[in-house]
Amino acid sequence: MEKFIIEGQVPLRGSVRTNGAKNAALPIMAAALLTTEECVLENVPLVRDVWTMAELLRRLGCQVFVDDIRHRVVVRAPESTQLNAIVPADLARQMRASFLATGPILARLGQVRAPHPGGCSIGKRPVNVDIRSFSAMGARVRLFGDVYDMQADALIGKSIYLDYPSHTGTENVLLAATLAKGRTIIKHAATEPEIADLVACLTQMGARVSGVGTSYLVVDGVEALGGFHHRVMPDRIEAGTYAIAAAISRGEVVIHDIVPDHMDPLTHKLQEAGALVEIDGGDYLVRGTGRLRPVEVQTLHYPGFPTDLQTSIATLLTQADGISLIHERVFDDRLQYTSELRKLGASIAVTGHTATIQGPTPLVGTTVRALDLRCGAALILAGLVAEGVTEICDIYHIDRGYENVLSQLVGLGARVERVAFEPAAASA
Ligand code: EPU
């Protein structure tokens, strides 16, 4: 097992380049299941979830080559007769994005079997949107334990209203609809930029999709799709995490390769809190100023404030002068990480889906656990500002979504180490 050891209170200075977005790379890798032609994906973040998806595609019968020097993934899915209709349970239970294999396989084979997907433990994570949509398109869905078995003679395009604008659900229905017969209309679709990136890729494959970026997507099914050569969009959550690292450490960092629009909700809150933000094309400069003001944040669907940055902004607000409020409106149990921040000295009270943060509180290093991916990000940020040494255990969660976080931070001057340890010694 490994842990991060952070010696805090060093202002970060310098620049980092944003990696490709995990939550765009994963659905696009799944899109390769829709064709037997070669699919080339550039700017792929080398995070654990991407390796898991690569392995999942291999187990479904695809040839997958991950070039970890060039950050490139090449996938070639087999002919239908060789495509496996059973999503491997051990991998499916590791991440939510595993369920994105079901839409393409159902569309190509007329059958698929997959367990309920795993992922970070941040509340209920149903797949009702996917299941109801596939049923509306003609699939018969049966549940055996936690395994969905879906069969369809043919998927037929339908007008579908999503009960909830599920991010993964929208992607899954989109993937299936590209090869369905006729027109599928997805109303109340999620509008996250990662979905637009998937649509750009699908369009290159020959899919006919309109309404990109809106909550009303129209897909005209086609007979077959071709390959793609696509560059994954920059990771707005990774970029945002480094932006907050600059602000909380009272440093100055330029984050290269961002999309300014994607950063709007964070830019707005950082400025409201008193940090300096300057945007120049794809460069995002953040300077932490002396005094931070408290703010109120509510997480919402894009272009609202992203839930994936909620933990990080909350950590910043432990250093603001007064009472800040965080309302988590996307997931029903995404405030658990506050217990770890409290161990470092933060004053945070949680009532329902709202965290009340009383700042500024000096944070003091101790041993904490990354409970999930974004909890891990929050703890790194806390460690950067804490007095003394912060040890973060269970960092495998962080490896799911942040590539080379250690070298990125060290490059900015942080004193961070990654060390192996014996679990027995840790509990002693
Ligand atoms: N929901 C429903 N019904 C459904 C599906 C979801 O009510 O059928 C509810 C869930 O209970 C949850 C909310 O909708 O409260 C959000 O779920 P959604 O399906 O929209 O999100 P997701 O697909 O599970 C993706 C990202 C998350 C990100 C959210 C919101 C991937 C692989 N995951 O999750 O990323 O937080 O969208 O943008 O794309 C992360 O990267 O740390 C992460 C958790």
Across 117-128, average pLDDT: 93
| Nearest alpha carbon to residue 8 among 248, 348, 239 | 248
Across 288-311, average pLDDT: 96
Across 144-171, average pLDDT: 97
Across 107-111, average pLDDT: 98
Q: For residues 174 and 217, is the Cβ–Cβ distance under 8 A?
A: yes
SS3 of residue 13 by DSSP: strand
* Residue located nearest, by CA, to atom 18 of ligand 1: 166
Residue 110 has pLDDT above 50, yes or no: yes
Q: For residues 169 and 127, is the Cβ–Cβ distance under 8 A?
A: yes
- State how beta strands 63-67 and 72-76 pair: antiparallel
Q: Which of 29, 91, 167 is the pocket-test mutation for ligand 1 (most atoms within 8 Å of CB)? A: 167
pLDDT digits (tens, 9 = 90+) for 50-85: 999 999 999 999 999 999 999 999 999 999 999 999
Alpha carbon of 289 to those of 276, 319, 382: distances in Å?
7, 11, 17
- 8-state DSSP, 31: H
User: How many angstroms is it from 129 CA to the middle of ligand 1?
Assistant: 11
Mention every residue, 6+ apart, whose C-beta is less than 8 A from residue 126. none
Residue 421 has pLDDT above 90, yes or no: no
Give the pLDDT confidence score for residue 426 in this predicted structure: 46
Q: Residue 427: pLDDT band by 50, 70, 90 thresholds? A: very low
Q: Which residues line ligand 1 (CB under 6 A)?
A: 23, 26, 96-97, 120, 123-129, 164, 166-169, 190, 192, 307-308, 330-332, 373-374, 401
Q: What residues are paired with 72 via a beta bridge? A: 67
Tell me what percent of the residues of the chain surpass a pLDDT of 90.
97
pTM for the model stands at: 0.97
Give the pLDDT confidence score for residue 196 in this predicted structure: 98
Mean pLDDT of the chain: 97
- State how beta strands 367-369 and 389-393 pair: parallel
Give the pLDDT confidence score for residue 424 in this predicted structure: 64
Give the pLDDT confidence score for residue 101 in this predicted structure: 98
Across 277-290, average pLDDT: 95
Across 116-137, average pLDDT: 95
pLDDT digits (tens, 9 = 90+) for 218-253: 999 999 999 999 999 999 999 999 999 999 999 999
Q: Residue 290: pLDDT band by 50, 70, 90 thresholds? A: confident
Residue 425 has pLDDT above 70, yes or no: no
